[in-house]
Chains A and B, each alone.
Chain A
Amino acid sequence: MKRSLRLLLAVAVLFVASGYSAAQSSPSVEFNAANAGPRSVEDLTSQTVPRDYAFAWQNLSQALDENRPGLLDAYFTGFAKSSLEQRIKQQAQSGLHVRYTDHGHKLNVLFYSPNGDLMQIEDDAQLEMQILDGGKVIQSQPLHVRFMVLMTPGADRWMVRDLESTPAPRSGE
C-alpha cells in the first residue's frame, strides 16, 4: 500500500514537473539575417543568436513571474539587465508579478557591425501578458510588440544588451 502511494506520488511529481517545464520552455524564434549589414551574419551566428535570444526570453518570463532578478544574469547585460532588475525589484516591493505567455518572436537583423561585436535586431513578438497583484489578475491582454534589441557576444553566448519596445504597431501591420 505504502509502495503504491510512493509510486503515485512520484508519478504526480513527474507530471507537475513536466507541466512546469513546458510552461517555462523557450519560445519559438524565427531568424532572418537577409537584411543584415554591413557584415554578413555567419552560419554559426545564425544558429546561436536565435537560440540565445529564446533562452533570454525564457529566463525573462520566469524572472518577471517569480520576481527573481538573478535569472537575468545568464543572458542579459548592460542597460537591459539593470532596467529589468529595477522593474523586478519594484514588482517585489509592490507585491506584483507579470506572467507572459510567449507565442513567438520574429527576428530581423538590421545591423551587424563590421567587427561582429554588435547586432541590432528588430523583434516582432506575440505575447499574452497578465499583471497580477498577489494572486489577483488585474490586467490580461494579448500583445503584439516590436522590440529593438542590441545583442553582443559574450564568452560562449550572445547577450541581450538593450531591449526597448518601439511604438505599438498600427492595426493591420
Chain B
Amino acid sequence: MRTVITWLLCSLAAAMPATAAELHAPKDIAAGTDFSITVNGDSHGTFYLIGPATAEKRSVENGSEISIPGTDIEKAGNYQAILCSDECVSTEFYVHAAEADRLSLLVHPSRVPVATTNAISAVAIALDRFHNIVFSHAQVDFSVNSNNGSSASHAQPTNRGIAWIRLTSAAKASSAKISAAVGDTTETRVVEQVASEACNLHIKSYWEANHLVVQTDPVRDCSGNNVPDGTVVSFTKTDRSGKTTVDAPIKKGIAKAEMPVVGNARISVASGVVLGNELNVGGAR
C-alpha cells in the first residue's frame, strides 16, 4: 500500500508542470539607480529588459534576484522585464526622473524693441542629469540683468516640468541677460533691446554742386534711443518730372540722399510706418 501511495505521489509530481517563476520589481525607481528584480521560483534562463532607450538580453543563472545596473535605466518611462526558460514571465515597472539638475532654456526673441509689453518670453524645462523631464514640482529662479545695471528676479514653480515668464523690454536700449536657475545649474541667454520705431522724424536740405541733398536729423525712437544703423529711411520727391523715391540706410545715426530737382519740388520722409516732415524746395541752382 505504501509503495502504491509513493508511486502515485511521484507520478503526480512528475505530471505537474514546474512552478513558473514570478518577477517583482520595486515600485519606486529613480533613473540611473542600481536595483534588483526579485525572482520567486526558478530564475534560470534568458532575461530581457525593454525600455525607452534599452533593449537588453542576457543569460541568468539560478538565484533569487536579477541585478539591474543604473546605466540600464537612465531614461525615465515604462520598462518590461521578461524572464524566459520553458515559458516566459514578465513584470512592468516605471522609472521616474532623478532630481532636477539641468535646464533647457528657450528665450525669444533675440532682438526686441525697447518698451514693448510682454515682448520677451522665457521657457525653462527642468531636466535631470540624464535629460529626463522632471515632472515633479521644481522651483525655477528667473533673473534679468541689463548692462545698464538694472536687474529683477522672479521664482516660478514648474508645471509638468515647464516654467515660463513673459517680460516687458526696458525703456533704454541695452543687452539683457536672462537667466534661469534650478539647484546649482544656471542657464543664461542674451537679448538685445534695440531702439523702437523712429519718432519725430525730421529732414532738412541743402544744395551741393547742383544736387539737392536731403538728410535727417539724428534718428531716434520716442525714448531717445538711436535707431540702429542700417534702418532704411525713404525720401520721396514729387516735382514736374513725377514722383521719385530713394531708400537710404541710416549711417552714424543719420540718413542722407542726393536728388536732382526740376522746378519746385515737395520732399517727404518715412521710416517704416512713421512719417516725418515735408519740405518744399525751389528748382536747381
Contacts and interface: CB of A to CB of B under 8 A. Distances in A.
A26 interface: no
A133 B80 contact: no
Interface stretch (B12-20, B86-94, B191-199): B86-94
A117 interface: yes
Interface residues of A, number: 36
Contacts of B94: 165, 167-168
What's the interface size class on B, roughly? 35 or more
A164 interface: yes
Interface string B143-165: 00000000000000001111010
A71 interface: no
B54 A111 contact: no
Contact of B53 (A86, A110, A131): A86
Interface string A80-103: 001110111011001110100000
Given A113-B123, A133-B48, A150-B133, A138 B88 contact: yes
A115 B133 contact: no
Given A113-B164, A117-B108, A138-B88, A148 B135 contact: yes
Contacts of B51: 87
A38 interface: yes
Interface in A85-139: 86-88, 90-91, 94-96, 98, 110-111, 113-115, 117-118, 120, 131, 133, 138-139
Nearest to B57: A94
B75 interface: yes
Contacts of B108: 114-115, 117
A152 B77 CA distance: 21
Q: Which 10 pairs show the lowest CB-CB distances between chains A and B?
A: A114-B121, A83-B53, A94-B57, A91-B55, A90-B55, A115-B108, A165-B77, A86-B53, A165-B78, A167-B94
